[in-house]
Amino acid sequence: MLSFFVPGVRHPIHYIAGILKFPIKKYLLANFLASSLYSDGWTFIIYKFNQKIGIKLVLIWLHQHLSIVLPLVAIALLCFIFYKVKRNKNES
């Protein structure tokens, strides 16, 4: 159940459970409980964020600082593309 909250482990744990022949009823129960806690946690965080700060305030700030936000997003996107191209080139 704890693997559901660890990035990078959440997805392959399903394969490992199958390989180890984890009982299906226990697996489904653990998966249901973990996904419920995970989604409830994110819902609570987003609700509190919107209550304390307000999503409208964030959107207004982004619009007012568009000249800063757009270049940062573009740089992050270019870095991601460069990383993927370099990684694919090294795998070949």
Q: What is the pLDDT of residue 1?
A: 67
pLDDT in tens, 52-78: 777 788 788 888 988 888 899 999 999
pTM of the model: 0.46
Q: Which tokens go with 55?
A: 């999503």
**What totals of helices (H) and strands (E) does the chain contain, helices first?**
4, 0
pLDDT in tens, 7-62: 777 778 878 888 888 899 988 898 888 888 888 888 888 888 777 777 788 788 88
Residue 15 φ/ψ region, left for φ over 0, alpha for ψ in the -120 to 50 degree band, beta for the rest:
alpha
- The rounded distance, in Å, linking the Cα atoms of 66 and 70 is 6
Length of the chain: 92
